[in-house]
Chain A
Amino acid sequence: MSSRGGKLSSSSSELDLDGPNIEDYLPSGSSINEPRGKLRLRDLLDISPTLTEAAGAIVDDSFTRCFKSNPPEPWNWNVYLFPLWCFGVAVRYLILFPARVVVLTIGWIIFLSSFIPVHFLLKGHDKLRKKMERVLVELMCSFFVASWTGVVKYHGPRPSIRPKQVFVANHTSMIDFIILEQMTAFAVIMQKHPGWVGLLQSTILESVGCIWFNRSEAKDREIVAKKLRDHVQGVDNNPLLIFPEGTCINNQYSVMFKKGAFELGCTVCPIAIKYNKIFVDAFWNSRKQSFTMHLLQLMTSWAVVCDVWYLEPQNLRPGETPIEFAEFI
């Protein structure tokens, strides 16, 4: 990881040039006849710095570098392993799965029986209620993780609750959120999902202060942008977690988040989540599988093993544009 600076340095030094600032050459009310400098067609057409940045990112980027993993070797299927595999399936489906369902159910019961009273009874005492709800959500997530026999290793300092902090993580599946939530209650930006997940989102997750967006609504972007800003400024709010990738159904959103996360003017703390593929493939194709199916699939696998790295927080240095900043991360 040591040579990150070297690869991207060619593009960041070009960013300093980045062509003359067009705004300097705009007529301030009067005629265009006296530009302050010599802006020529050549300068306008030369998009090479931006293209170089893009190509640089395609060729190599520091974020993905965290995940240089070796492709898992395929099992050598032969007569001996097959019965073993069948046995494994039997164990997974008949023993582990029911046990996990039980664990999960117990977890839900405990959670709901504590959450609902807390939510209603402590309506007046917001601070206390928030604290308790936070703890309960964390607990619930631990149950979830246990239900897939999740073995999660956390590296790095735990995130602290400070204002003006934004967390950014890579996104493999919905369970990323649960794994992170288990350690620290985050507020997340998510899309409203249909079904029981949506119900979950509206009620319980509301308590940790999540922000919803609806890709199909036109004005939603502005509303969400404002909500983001408010949340980040708030002292008492849970730290905000953003998954900048999202799916590319609506391009406006993905671009907005990616830029938006860095434009908020706060400290950005990257989190890297890496799954060990030997045990289970945590990659969730949301197009192909519903969340419930995915959960079931996880619960019938051996385990979910992953590593979570909390990386160093990065700050926006004065004068840097969001793009440069994103590059820096």
Chain B
Amino acid sequence: MGNTSSMLTQYDIEEVQQHCNNAFSQQEIVSLYQRFCQLDRNGGGFISAEEFLSVPEFAVNPLSQRLLRMLDGLNFKEFVAFLSAFSPRATLQHKIEFIFKVYDSDGNGKVTFNDMLDVLHDLTGQFISEQQREQVLTHVLEEAGYTKESLLVMSDFVKILGSSGLKMEVEVPVD
């Protein structure tokens, strides 16, 4: 697929659509491509961290650094696959998997106490102290039947988040 060309063929669109399991319609993929090219200012075929951070609303997000790690060096196809977790057509399983990957920064399939603490820190850093965060997290973990040493895997996340009516959707503007 021509990463640096500004022409998106029908074949490309279908390939991308397949890759993201039909999470987006063809029109949405075209829109996403325009957006991708808009963000990829130097035309390198991928959006650099700098280019992501040039979107002010993204830069102020507390989880932007974690997301940048996941977004680094993605070409368009992978970019769409990344965003597919936010499509209304994505399954709950897919969304939970995405959240799991945000927590699991070393990508070994296990989320540790520290991983969770780090994310909490990103979200609440200036409001409460490290100690308080640890206390809350430990307490809440124990209540749910885990311990500080527990290593949570994907199925744990599904169990915890699965019944909650998780809403994580984004609308792709289609002109």
Interface residues of A (CB under 8 A from B): 3, 6-7, 10-11, 14, 22-23, 25-27, 32, 39-42, 44-48, 50-64, 68, 71, 168, 170, 244-245, 247-248, 251, 254-255, 258-259, 262, 283, 285, 322-323, 326-327, 329
Residues in B whose Cβ lies below 8 Å from that of A329: 56
Classify the secondary structure of A's interface with B. Answer: helix
Contact assessment for A71 and B102 in the assembled complex, using a CB-CB cutoff below 8 Å: no
Q: Could you name 14 residue pairs across A and B whose Cβ atoms are closer than 8 Å?
A: A22-B120, A32-B135, A41-B160, A46-B166, A48-B95, A54-B58, A55-B168, A60-B173, A61-B57, A168-B56, A245-B56, A254-B59, A255-B59, A326-B60
Contact assessment for B63 and A51 in the assembled complex, using a CB-CB cutoff below 8 Å: yes
Beta-carbon nearest neighbor of A323 in chain B: B60
Contact assessment for B55 and A64 in the assembled complex, using a CB-CB cutoff below 8 Å: yes
Classify the secondary structure of B's interface with A. Answer: helix
**Whole-angstrom distance between the Cβ of A294 and the nearest chain B Cβ:** 16
Contact assessment for B128 and A255 in the assembled complex, using a CB-CB cutoff below 8 Å: no
Q: Give CA–CA (A53, B56) in the complex, Å.
A: 12
B32 within 8 A of A: yes
B19 within 8 A of A: no
Contact assessment for A258 and B59 in the assembled complex, using a CB-CB cutoff below 8 Å: yes
Residues in A whose Cβ lies below 8 Å from that of B103: 45
For window 122-141 of B, CB contacts with A under 8 Å fall at: 123-124, 127-128, 132-133, 135-137, 139-141
Contact assessment for B168 and A53 in the assembled complex, using a CB-CB cutoff below 8 Å: no
Contact assessment for A42 and B161 in the assembled complex, using a CB-CB cutoff below 8 Å: yes
Contact assessment for B63 and A47 in the assembled complex, using a CB-CB cutoff below 8 Å: yes
B35 within 8 A of A: yes
Contact assessment for A40 and B143 in the assembled complex, using a CB-CB cutoff below 8 Å: yes
Beta-carbon nearest neighbor of A245 in chain B: B54
Q: Give CA–CA (A254, B56) in the complex, Å.
A: 10
B154 within 8 A of A: no
A39, A52, A55, A283: which contacts B136 (Cβ < 8 A)? A39
Contact assessment for B140 and A63 in the assembled complex, using a CB-CB cutoff below 8 Å: no
Tell me whether A51 and B168 are in contact in the complex, defined as CB-CB below 8 angstroms, given that A59-B32, A322-B60 are known contacts: yes
Residues in A whose Cβ lies below 8 Å from that of B42: 285
B38, B102, B172: which contacts A47 (Cβ < 8 A)? B102
Q: Give CA–CA (A11, B86) in the complex, Å.
A: 12
Beta-carbon nearest neighbor of A13 in chain B: B167
Contact assessment for A42 and B139 in the assembled complex, using a CB-CB cutoff below 8 Å: no
B38, B102, B136, B173: which contacts A51 (Cβ < 8 A)? B102
Residues in B whose Cβ lies below 8 Å from that of A247: 50
Contact assessment for A56 and B65 in the assembled complex, using a CB-CB cutoff below 8 Å: no
B64 within 8 A of A: yes
Residues in B whose Cβ lies below 8 Å from that of A39: 136, 140
**Whole-angstrom distance between the Cβ of A159 and the nearest chain B Cβ:** 19
